[in-house]
């Protein structure tokens, strides 16, 4: 069983991404000769599936993850079984436990000092039974690069403190890559997105994490409208906490690359970037 955790800024799409993953328990994701089927296994994961059906599909927006009143120890944990079927290959079964985190935990890394309330969380996230981390980054303009460097510098120091710098896989993804400015660079995100928009972020991670344990991805939970219509299948609407992302056309919902980083984190092997 693979244990991973997801971390990233507020509104980077972490919870929506996991809900999208859970929703595909009723569908198959097939691209080229690869088919993936997701089964939510625990109550938290099944709740995400229901949220996808009852909130995302009706074109509303999920609330972001917040630290519960009981503290970080009560943050949700999602359990999935993922079937991987490919022609001429045996069916693979991946059991995956995903630990979510509130955006304020990532944003708090910028100070260089870990909030005492978060210490237990990082001790758990960076324990030996956790094999990987998926980092969501959604900003790419303005001072996003400098901001991420400050936060991820604190994060890499934690990796070193807990002595995980040799054996923790780290997948770094630009989320919401359906945006028109980013979509053309999705096929080779390390070169066409990170080198172009977040070069200092990439340099920091390359200097602190062994190359075999670091991969760069681009993903989109909502995707685009179609092969011949690359407009984002997402629109922003006013919400109680600023602009909220919702589906543009639910019947054309097709995520992009939501499984690829999980497969690499779980197995150490690459599979199609677009899956």
Residue pLDDT, tens place only, 31-79? 444 577 888 999 999 999 999 999 999 998 887 766 655 556 677 889 9
Residue 110 to residues 144, 204, 212: CA-CA distances in angstroms?
Answer: 12, 14, 26
What is the domain class of 2-267 according to CATH? alpha beta
In this prediction the pTM is: 0.91
pLDDT of 274 strictly over 70: no
Q: At 244, which helix (H) or strand (E)?
A: strand 242-247
Contact 66, 117 (CB under 8 A): no
- Radius of gyration of the chain measured on its C-alpha atoms: 18
Q: Tell me 231's DSSP state.
A: E
Between CA 84 and CA 177 the distance in angstroms is 24
Read off the pLDDT of residues 85-127 as tens digits, 9 standing for 90 and up.
877 778 889 999 998 888 888 888 876 667 777 788 888 899 9
């Amino acid at each position: 069983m693979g244990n991973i955790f997801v971390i990233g800024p507020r509104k980077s799409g972490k919870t929506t991404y996991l809900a999208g993953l859970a929703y595909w328990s009723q569908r198959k994701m097939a691209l080229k000769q690869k088919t993936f089927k997701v089964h939510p296994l625990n109550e938290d994961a099944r709740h995400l599936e229901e949220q996808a059906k009852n909130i995302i599909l009706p074109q509303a927006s999920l609330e972001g993850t917040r630290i519960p009143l009981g503290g970080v120890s009560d943050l949700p944990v999602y359990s999935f079984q993922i079937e991987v079927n490919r022609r001429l290959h045996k069916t693979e079964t991946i059991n995956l436990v995903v630990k979510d985190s509130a955006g304020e935990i990532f944003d708090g890394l910028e100070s260089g000092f870990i909030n005492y309330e978060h210490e237990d969380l990082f001790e758990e996230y960076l324990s030996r039974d956790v094999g990987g981390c998926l980092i969501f980054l959604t900003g790419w303009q303005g001072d996003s690069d400098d901001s991420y460097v400050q936060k991820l510098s604190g994060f890499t120091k934690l990796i070193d403190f807990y002595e995980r710098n040799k054996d923790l896989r780290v997948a770094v993804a630009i989320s919401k890559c359906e945006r028109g400015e980013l979509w053309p660079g999705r096929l080779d995100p390390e070169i066409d997105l990170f080198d172009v928009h977040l070069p200092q972020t990439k340099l920091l991670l390359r200097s602190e994490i062994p190359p075999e344990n670091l991969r760069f991805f681009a993903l989109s939970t909502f995707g685009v409208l179609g092969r011949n219509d690359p407009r984002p299948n997402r629109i922003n609407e006013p919400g109680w906490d600023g602009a909220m992302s919702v589906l543009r056309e639910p019947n054309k919902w097709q995520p992009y690359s939501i499984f690829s980083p999980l497969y690499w984190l779980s197995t150490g092997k690459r599979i199609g970037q677009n899956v």
